[in-house]
Amino acid sequence: MKTLADRVLFYTRKANSYSQRRYDVLTGRTTQRPPSNRFVRLIAYRDAFRSRVEAERGASL
């Protein structure tokens, strides 16, 4: 099972990659756009991750 740190690392790496690709498109450095549903997937992962952390926090208290 992945640790909390691994999940945070995964999310931040993917969010940073998305932001970098969006910035490159907006500044005209590339014409290759990131997938149109990537932002929605990142937000869904973040929300699921947050609810899991809150559930673990509640169970340990």
Q: Which residues contact 4 (CB under 8 A, 6 or more apart)?
A: 53, 56
In this structure, what DSSP letter does residue 37 have?
T
pLDDT value of position 53: 87
Query: For residue range 8-54, what is the model confidence (pLDDT) as tens digits?
Result: 899 999 999 999 999 999 899 988 888 889 999 999 999 999 998 88
| pTM (predicted TM-score) | 0.70
In this structure, what DSSP letter does residue 1 have?
-
The continuous run of DSSP H or E covering 18 comes out as helix 4-27
Q: Binning pLDDT at 50, 70 and 90, where does residue 61 land?
A: low
Name the region of 28 (left: φ>0; alpha: ψ -120 to 50; beta: rest). Answer: left
